[in-house]
Amino acid sequence: MANQRTGLACGIVVAAGRSERMGGVDKVFAQLAGRPLLAWTLAAFKRCDAIDGIVVVASEVSLQRMYEFVREWRFDAKVKAVVPGGATRQESVRAGLDAAGSAAIASAIVAVHDGARPLVTPDIIARGVALARETGAALCAVPARDTVKQVEGDPPVVTGTPAREGLWLAQTPQCFDRELLLKAHREAGNTPATDDAALVEALGHAVTVYEGAWSNFKVTTQEDMIIAEALLRERFASGA
């Protein structure tokens, strides 16, 4: 490609949430198929050759615990920094972006990923990084399987059924030219966006989409933990 971006690629794993839906337990440390949830997520980044380093964004209160976790689970060779996040996901990503641009890491490409998506694979990450090297912005997503409805009012009533064709559900990783995403965050300021891709879209830069996997879902509820555990055990058992 004419526009190929070279330079290092850094994973920014955002694990600074409050896990309100899981009764205050810090979800990323919850046990899942024999290890903490976040260990599955970080293992995928560790095993991904397209990733040169990892920045973990932790909540202020769990920062110490995160350092210990990274060391205990032997991610410290690839995790270049553990940084405190902000009050919102957007602020947390911004903190990760800054760390990924520091002299010690100096990455040209970032792969922003939700810590609570433990079923991501090295392949999904690598494809995002490769696409971001080409296009500057790559979004992992899956085509909507169910009909999407626009719903309004109380009681809620359907106000529209957009054509299912062309509707995708965004996941992470969302991979970007680091400078581009930084610019998008700066321009957005404190205006909340639904995700990083939306900030880059707002700049007018095209965001290219590639297909992830249904299993790469975000673990939010106890039911999700059951699902994730079943899928991880199956994956582990089959050696895939």
Q: Rule CB under 8 A: which residues touch a second copy?
A: 135, 139, 141, 144-152, 155-162, 164, 166-171, 194-195, 197-198, 201, 206-210, 214-215, 218, 220-221, 223-224, 226-227, 229-231, 234
Is the Cβ of residue 9 or residue 139 nearer to a second copy in the bound state?
A: 139
- The nearer residue to a second copy, 8 or 121, going by C-beta atoms, is 121
Return d(Cα 95, Cα 112) in angstroms, integer.
12
State the Cα–Cα distance between residues 133 and 230, nearest whole angstrom. Answer: 34
Work out how close the CB of 179 gets to a second copy at its nearest, in angstroms, rounded to a whole number: 20
Q: How far is the CB of 168 from a second copy (least distance, A)?
A: 5
Q: How many CB atoms lie within 10 A of CB 150?
A: 10
Nearer to a second copy, 43 or 227 (CB): 227
The span from the CA of 11 to the CA of 213, in Å, is 19
Nearest distance in Å: CB 114, a second copy: 10
Distance, in Å, from the CA atom of 205 to the CA atom of 187, rounded to the nearest integer, reads 13
Nearest CB to a second copy, comparing residues 74 and 149 = 149
Please spell the DSSP secondary structure of 204-237, one letter per residue. Answer: T---EEEE--TT-PPP-SHHHHHHHHHHHHHHHH
